[in-house]
Amino acid sequence: MNSIHYSTRISHNSLISKSKIGKGNYIACNTVIINTSIGNYCSIAPGVQIGGMQHSYWWLSTSPRLSKHCISNKVTKIGNDVWIAAGCIIKQGVTIGDGAVIGAMSFVNKDVPENSIYFGSPAKFHKKRLDDSLFATIKKSNYWNLNPAEAKKALTKIEDENTLPPSIL
């Protein structure tokens, strides 16, 4: 059974099973999400796989029809305002913290702390996404629990009160 907030957009050819998905998210095409909890305002690019089963490669058979040793009960947790780029695989039971970014084609098999950028196979820490004090201000605002208009106001206020890194554009 799924619980998906009505404001989350899900693109075609996506499979979602046994998951809870918050508000304001978008989930691109060809995505598989199994036994996962996703916060609010997350961006999930095409071809991402989150959660799923670990087959019993250590036992006599890897088939879930034959083996009672396959593992499929670990919940994967994705925080708020997380961006998971195209082609990523996030193993079951992993937690990705608020504000994290996972680079394209990454394989995530360990927890990812909030406000961090990880990429690679296996995914490794690259850098903090934002300065710790700025991220603390963002987190304290709790904007991800607001509706989009209120969230934009909260973020604009934070932007006006802080010196932000220069835009890439």
24: left (phi over 0), alpha (psi -120 to 50) or beta: left
CATH of the domain at 14: 2.160.10.10
Write out pLDDT tens, residues 133-148. 999 999 999 999 999 9
Average pLDDT (36-44) is 98
CA torsion sign for 45, 157, 148, 139 is positive
Distance between CA atoms of 35 and 141, rounded to whole angstroms? 29
The residue segments making up the domain with residue 109 are 1-54+70-129
**40 and 15 belong to one structural domain:** yes
Tell me the average pLDDT across 39-56.
Answer: 96
Residue with tokens 């009672």: 68
Q: Which of 5, 55, 69, 126 is catalytic?
A: 55
* pTM (predicted TM-score): 0.93
Identify the pLDDT of residue 168.
Answer: 54
Neighbouring C-alpha atoms within 13 Å toward the C-beta of 144:
19
For residue 169, the model assigns a pLDDT of 46
If asked whether residues 125 and 137 sit together in one domain, one would say: no
| Mean pLDDT for the chain overall | 95
Percent of the chain with pLDDT over 70: 97
Do 1 and 30 lie in one domain? The reply is yes
The rounded distance, in Å, linking the Cα atoms of 115 and 97 is 7
Q: Using pLDDT thresholds of 50, 70 and 90, give the confidence band for residue 163.
A: confident
> Same domain, yes or no, for 38 and 117?
yes
Residue 166 has pLDDT above 90, yes or no: no
- CA dist 156 and 148 (Å) reads 12
| Residue range 97-106: mean pLDDT, rounded | 98
Q: Is residue 126 among the annotated active site residues?
A: no
Number of domains in the chain: 2
Task: Please state the rounded mean pLDDT for residues 15-33.
Answer: 97
